[in-house]
């Protein structure tokens, strides 16, 4: 199996030993504590599950700046984005060297992790602007990722963490949330050798389904992991339980047995386009995938990124040898009226735009809201049925 990044075995920050876990949980109640941001909580969950291996905790400012500017930390290791715990105030911490981090996304703010405080630094406006510009390629506060990153506070608290729970993800998504450790174990149990991962924050239409089939066929993969984001999205995105139901129905009906794993991870979407694509590849290698599909405008939002920036970054900016996972570079896929099948648009040079079945997201949502299924060339009827029920429930 492909090795994780930076170590021979995954080093998840979750405390699995029950005796140690209970001891730390008791200790946490007596420690100074702070409620962290949703983004920082997502980072803790990802470190807890081994996805951010070999990170042991939140970065200090020097490492965060290195990640932003060159994707290289001060010790020379590779990481594509800053992983920070930013606070508006450190009054509750004082001079404590060990603190409890509380979950902002669960009622009662239970303890999510314990941190050994190594540094408390105030991030300057110049440093925040540099990190924002490098990671998001814009400082426009209308960009949802830029706004979320910049609205957390300016005090960076750094140090290693011990994670005590996985926030709301296990309770709300018990059949879907999986750690990188669990996915690696399941890949081994299934006997898969070559595994392609597909990222989604949306239900999968026919074009997405066919893209996964194409990638599996062309790469000779024996397994596909459909890995969906379960964390916070932007308004208007379809809730995870609905996506989950639609994807599972598609897999059940249109993929061979033992060829697909449907799983999810707990993280707030950054909408950082190219940089987020690299982060996606990073933690897919850690979960055991050998290949990762990156298509048009991967992890983008609005018009902030070029259609294929999330592919070219791997050639132009990612340090050579930083990743072992291979990228399957895909174009937009759509139903060809000429060929009577789904194709990658770049592989049909004799086609005009009208030769494809193309529907905007807005048009599809309007149809579903009226109880109309999109054409079969766009969406499987069984998937459309689940989405129609959802849209009619909110209208």
Question: What are the catalytic residues?
Answer: 201-202
Q: How many CA atoms lie within 13 A of 121 on its CB side?
A: 19
Token digits of residue 392: 């009619």
Alpha carbons 245 and 262: distance in angstroms, whole number: 10
Alpha carbons 116 and 105: distance in angstroms, whole number: 22
Residue 224 phi/psi, 5-degree rounding, is: -125, 130
The structure tokens 């570079």 sit at 329
Residue 315 phi/psi, 5-degree rounding, is: -85, -35
Token digits of residue 328: 């399957």
Which residue in 44, 46, 19 sits closest to 34, CA to CA? Answer: 44
Cis bond leading into 54, ω under 30°? yes
Alpha carbons 280 and 300: distance in angstroms, whole number: 13
What order do you get walking across the sheet with 356-357 strand by strand?
341-344, 333-336, 356-357
Cis bond leading into 156, ω under 30°? no
The structure tokens 């049909």 sit at 348
Q: To the nearest 5 percent, what fractions of the chain are helix, strand and coil?
A: 35, 20, 45
Quick check: helix, strand or coil at residue 357? strand
């Amino acid at each position: 199996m492909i090795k994780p990044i930076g170590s021979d075995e995954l080093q998840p920050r979750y405390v699995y030993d029950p005796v140690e876990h209970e001891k730390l949980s008791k200790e946490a109640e007596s420690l100074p504590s702070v409620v962290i941001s949703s983004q920082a909580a997502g980072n803790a969950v990802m470190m807890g599950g081994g996805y951010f291996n070999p990170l042991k905790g939140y970065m200090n400012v020097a490492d965060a700046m290195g990640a932003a500017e060159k994707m290289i930390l001060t010790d020379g290791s590779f990481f594509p984005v800053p992983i920070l715990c930013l606070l508006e105030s450190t009054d509750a911490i004082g001079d404590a060297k060990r603190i409890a981090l509380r979950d902002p996304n669960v009622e009662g703010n239970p303890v999510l992790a314990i941190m050994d405080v190594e540094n408390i630094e105030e991030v300057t406006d110049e440093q925040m602007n540099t990190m924002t510009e490098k990671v998001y390629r814009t400082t426009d506060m209308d960009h949802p990722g830029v706004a979320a990153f910049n609205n957390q506070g300016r005090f960076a608290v750094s140090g290693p963490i011990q994670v005590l729970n996985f926030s709301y993800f296990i309770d709300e998504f018990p059949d879907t949330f999986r750690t990188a450790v669990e996915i690696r174990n399941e890949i081994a149990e299934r006997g898969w050798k070559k595994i392609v991962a597909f990222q989604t924050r949306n239900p999968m239409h026919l074009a997405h389904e066919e893209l996964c089939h194409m990638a599996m066929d062309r790469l000779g993969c024996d397994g596909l992991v459909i890995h969906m984001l379960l964390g916070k999205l932007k308004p208007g995105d379809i809730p995870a339980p609905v996506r989950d139901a639609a994807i599972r129905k598609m897999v059940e009906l249109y993929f061979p047995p033992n060829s697909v794993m449907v799983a999810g991870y707990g993280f707030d979407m950054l909408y950082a386009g190219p940089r987020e694509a690299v982060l996606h590849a990073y933690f897919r290698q850690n979960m055991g995938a050998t290949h990762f599909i990156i298509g048009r405008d991967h992890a983008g939002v609005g018009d902030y990124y070029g259609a294929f920036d999330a592919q070219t970054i791997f050639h132009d900016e990612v340090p050579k040898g930083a990743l072992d996972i291979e990228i399957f570079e895909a174009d937009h896929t759509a139903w060809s009226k000429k060929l009577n099948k789904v194709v990658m648009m770049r592989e049909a040079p004799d086609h005009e735009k009208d030769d494809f079945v193309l529907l905007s997201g807005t048009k599809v949502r309007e149809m579903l809201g009226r109880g109309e299924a999109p054409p079969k060339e766009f969406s499987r009827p069984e998937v459309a049925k689940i989405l129609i029920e959802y849209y009619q429930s909110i209208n």
